[in-house]
Amino acid sequence: MPSPYRAIFAAPGSKAFSAAGFLGRMPLSMMGIGIVTMISQLTGRYGLAGALSATVAMAAAAIGPQISRLVDRHGQAKVLRPATLVAVAAATGLIVCAQAGAPDWTLFVFAAGAGCVPSVGSMVRARWAAIYRGSPRDLHTAYAWESIVDETCFIFGPIVAIGLSTAWFPAAGPALAGAFLLVGVFWLTTQHATEPVPAAREDHTRGSAMSSRGLQVLVVTFVATGAIFGSVDVVSVAFAEEEGHKAAASLVLAVYALGSCVAGLVFGLLHLKGAPERRWLVGVCAMAVSMIPLQLVGNLWLLAAALFVAGLAIAPTMVTTMALVASHIPSTKLTEGMTWVSTGLAVGVALGSAAAGAAVDAWGAETAYGVSGVAGAVAAVVAFLGYRRLRQPAPTQEVQRVDERDQHGERDASVA
């Protein structure tokens, strides 16, 4: 492992919580595709399968930030364990009802409950932030490492979920995803030494992290970015099917994630200078431009090459985004802020998947890559329009407290 990565893992407990976070994040790439595979095998209804997968994603988008807000207030162990038990119990109910041929409404109820899954990636990044808050260089490398972990999950997760559900039994994919979540979260929450200390109650009285204008820009941009990912996934599967090699879709998409993984590994080694918001803007625009070659691919080999190149822009942009989140919200709301970015991404994936599916039905797979191109263009436009907000970082928590004391003093003086 290159020396900057060895350096960050010198911190006591860092290897253990990063490993636990890897297990806890596997469901991120396994649960949705596992549900689609399971339902389609049991019922042959792809429409129902897609709707249930979207229900899980949208429920997670709605519930996730609230879970993270409670984590910032009460700590990871107290909140993550009950939330995980609810999510696993709901996923189990979904599996049982699907296999028993229960009415569709029961499947949707349990799918919504499965959305109670916590944002494990945000929890791990919050631990890195607590360790290296005073060392931007090390924190940059830590965030790069976690982006590599994310992409590793997306390389292997779908392959494992689809492979088990087709080769073993239909529910094997989502069942294993639930097991990964349970083991990962409970292992993570036993590691109290690296758990961020919950903030005092008065630090949570200023509302949600989304009141930050900078965070609003990041989240809206990532809705469009998520639409890129969701549409690329759906259209690539359809394109591979049109080419007569549907099974190759998982390998093509793994190449997409591999490109991001390679870029993240290199990005973490760099000692970058200059404004992070400028790097972020360049990264978003690079993702948008990388969608153009997809409109021209004519076979799976060209598609794989184009997606590898497109993936190179993902991890560096994600790393920079997390750094910007930390600079625009107080540390007492860091977990919530990171989860809002993940939420925007999840909402975008759901919207992009739906739009891409409709485009494939109407015009065919190759033309449907236009949805990815439009999503990239929207992300770039939002990034340009919000760039000025990102150039004005929020004051630190300590400065906010001083300002509040000054304001109280002025009010007391005026009363006197």
* Complete domains list, the chain, with CATH: 17-134+157-197 (no CATH), 208-403 (1.20.1250.20)
Q: Please check the confidence at residue 393 and state whether its pLDDT lies above 70.
A: no
Q: Please check the confidence at residue 399 and state whether its pLDDT lies above 60.
A: no
State the Cα–Cα distance between residues 355 and 363, nearest whole angstrom. 12
Q: Please check the confidence at residue 216 and state whether its pLDDT lies above 60.
A: yes
State the Cα–Cα distance between residues 100 and 103, nearest whole angstrom. 9
Chain centroid to CA 139: 18
Average pLDDT over the chain reads 81
Among 137-141, 197-201, 306-310, 399-403, top mean pLDDT goes to: 306-310
Q: Please check the confidence at residue 230 and state whether its pLDDT lies above 70.
A: yes
Q: Which residues, 6+ apart, have CB-to-CB distance to 277 below 8 Å?
A: 324, 387, 390, 391
Where does the pLDDT of residue 200 fall: very low under 50, low under 70, confident under 90, or very high at 90 and above?
Answer: low
Where does the pLDDT of residue 319 fall: very low under 50, low under 70, confident under 90, or very high at 90 and above?
Answer: confident
Among 4-8, 185-189, 341-345, top mean pLDDT goes to: 185-189
pLDDT of residue 199: 65
* Position with higher pLDDT, 156 vs 112: 112
CB 161 within 8 A of CB 37: yes
State the Cα–Cα distance between residues 138 and 14, nearest whole angstrom. 13
Where does the pLDDT of residue 406 fall: very low under 50, low under 70, confident under 90, or very high at 90 and above?
Answer: very low
* Position with higher pLDDT, 216 vs 288: 288
State the Cα–Cα distance between residues 12 and 1, nearest whole angstrom. 18
What are the φ and ψ backbone dihedral angles of 77, each rounded to 5 degrees?
-60, -45
Where does the pLDDT of residue 46 fall: very low under 50, low under 70, confident under 90, or very high at 90 and above?
Answer: low
State the Cα–Cα distance between residues 149 and 122, nearest whole angstrom. 13
Q: Please check the confidence at residue 12 and state whether its pLDDT lies above 60.
A: yes
pLDDT of residue 234: 78
> Quick one: tokens of 127?
């631990």
CB 283 within 8 A of CB 320: yes
State the Cα–Cα distance between residues 80 and 100, nearest whole angstrom. 30
Secondary structure, 3-state, 224-273 = HHHHHHHHHHHHHHHHHHHCCCHHHHHHHHHHHHHHHHHHHHHHHHCCCC
Report the SS3 class of residue 24.
helix
Q: In this predicted structure, which of 108-122, 181-195, 257-271, 287-301 has the lowest mean pLDDT?
A: 257-271
Q: Please check the confidence at residue 403 and state whether its pLDDT lies above 90.
A: no
Q: Which helix (H) or strand (E) holds 297?
A: none
Q: Which helix (H) or strand (E) holds 324?
A: helix 314-328
Where does the pLDDT of residue 231 fall: very low under 50, low under 70, confident under 90, or very high at 90 and above?
Answer: confident
Share of the chain above pLDDT 70, in %: 89
How many C-beta neighbours within 10 Å does residue 392 have? 10
pLDDT of residue 106: 92
State the Cα–Cα distance between residues 37 and 31, nearest whole angstrom. 10
Averaged over 273-287, what is the pLDDT? 87
Phi-psi domain of 126 (left: phi exceeds 0; alpha: psi -120 through 50; beta: other): alpha
* Position with higher pLDDT, 209 vs 297: 297
Averaged over 393-404, what is the pLDDT? 44
Q: In this predicted structure, which of 26-30, 216-220, 393-397 has the lowest mean pLDDT?
A: 393-397
What are the φ and ψ backbone dihedral angles of 102, each rounded to 5 degrees?
-70, 165
Averaged over 55-61, what is the pLDDT? 83
Chain centroid to CA 22: 13
Among 70-79, 364-373, 376-385, top mean pLDDT goes to: 376-385
Residue (of 283, 370, 369, 275) closest to 318 by Cα position: 283
Q: Which residues, 6+ apart, have CB-to-CB distance to 119 below 8 Å?
A: 64, 67, 68, 335, 338, 339, 342
* Position with higher pLDDT, 382 vs 163: 382
Among 54-68, 189-203, 288-302, top mean pLDDT goes to: 288-302
